[in-house]
Structure 1
Amino acid sequence: MSDFSADFELDGEPEREFHPGIAKRMAHKTVASGALIRDPAGRVLFVVPNYKPYLDIPGGIVEPGEPPSAACAREVAEEVGLELRIGPLLLVDWTPGRGPWSDQVQFVFDGGVLAPGAAIRPAGDELTGYRWATLEEARPDLRASLYRRLTLASKAVLLGYPLHAEFGHLLSQS
């Protein structure tokens, strides 16, 4: 993780609350970060979680004080055993809260193209395996919002700049 101590020093003393307690009453969003990892044939690396009934990409929840890009690298290493240099941001997507989950801000980073024969080691405590597939091949096993999100992330790879979405629907382009 990055050391921001010099930046904190430049910013000066932390802001004090004008009305004590207001910060704790404000809404908090979950932040998640994942990697779009491809093979030379253009297929996407999907993980098979043991805690939900659909495919996902390697990634997970950003810890407090952790930058999204660092969380992405950490989660990829933890979930599939790959120590990747995480590439540029492809997409920022907001998803509404549903069921037990709060709304989320989701970052998708470019995980690059994995060399053939790379050792993928799924974490047994949270994954039952992994799968290489095109988005269309994986579509029946994806949530519709994730399919939309990954379609936009794939588009961002081709465009060369990040996109902004809400629930997988494109909002703006640079």
Structure 2
Amino acid sequence: MTIDEDLLAEGEPEREFTPGIAARMARKAVGGALLLRDPGNRLVFVEPIYKPTLEIPGGVAEENESPLAACRREVHEELGLDLPIGRLLVVDWTPAHGIWRDGLTFVFDGGVLDAGAVDRLRPGDPELRAILPMTLDEAEPRLKPSLARRLRVAVAAAQSGEGPIHTEFGRPVRAAL
């Protein structure tokens, strides 16, 4: 089934019991990102032109776009690749900070590309200055601390088969049952 068919099956949208309540509810930014690596444990980082820190491929979902679809779209735009997107590794909540609202980032497993393929990657998006294959240790000075923490968890989940792992600001959350 498609999402449109699923929405039809849901029936008529519910009416607001208290008019205006839906408009007052918080809205979160949601994004999808890809952990893509090579056999030498280098990760694929992108260097955006609009910020001083590195990121991994991916980005913010557009309205009514799932995190997986956003990841797939952004990876195609940024790297020019149509990769099979693997399993979900991490769901990370980030608090509001400065001009940015709080949000959720879904990190998916992009698998392992051969080192030559990684080295041949070139930016496919004018918002990117470069694509940089680096180990996490090499990249860490150029990452926000929360992204470094999130990536350490994602790499461990990819290697162990564990996950998905819930993190908050890159720190694993162990929910009490």
Asked if Structure 1 and Structure 2 have the same fold, meaning a TM-score greater than 0.5 normalized by the shorter chain, the answer is: yes
Within a 5 Å distance, the mapping from 1:57-76 to structure 2 comes to 57-76=56-75
Cα distance in 2 for residues equivalent to 1:165 and 1:54 = 21
User: Which residue is 1:16 aligned to?
Assistant: 15
User: Which residue is 1:102 aligned to?
Assistant: 101
SS in structure 2 of the partner of residue 42 of structure 1: coil
**TM-score normalised over the length of structure 2:** 0.92
Give the deviation of 1:65 after TM superposition.
1.1
Give the deviation of 1:114 after TM superposition.
1.4
> What code does the residue aligned with 2:18 have?
H
State whether structure 2 residue 150 is matched by structure 1 residue 170: no
1:67-97 deviation digits (Å, cap 9, x = unpaired):
1111101000101111111111000000111
Share of identical aligned residues, percent?
53
Cα distance in 2 for residues equivalent to 1:104 and 1:92 = 10
Give the deviation of 1:124 after TM superposition.
4.6
SS in structure 2 of the partner of residue 117 of structure 1: helix
Question: In the alignment, is the contact (CA less than 8 A) between 1:82 and 1:120 conserved in 2?
Answer: no
User: Which residue is 1:145 aligned to?
Assistant: 146
Where in structure 2 are there 5+ consecutive unaligned residues? none
User: Which residue is 1:155 aligned to?
Assistant: 156
- Alignment size in residue pairs: 172
User: Which residue is 2:4 aligned to?
Assistant: 5
Cα distance in 2 for residues equivalent to 1:120 and 1:21 = 48
State whether structure 2 residue 37 is matched by structure 1 residue 38: yes
Within a 5 Å distance, the mapping from 1:51-130 to structure 2 comes to 51-118=50-117, 119-130=120-131
Give the deviation of 1:100 after TM superposition.
1.0
Cα distance in 2 for residues equivalent to 1:16 and 1:98 = 33
> What code does the residue aligned with 1:16 have?
R
Moved over 4 A (4+): none
Could you say what the CA RMSD is over the residues aligned between the two structures, in angstroms? 1.5
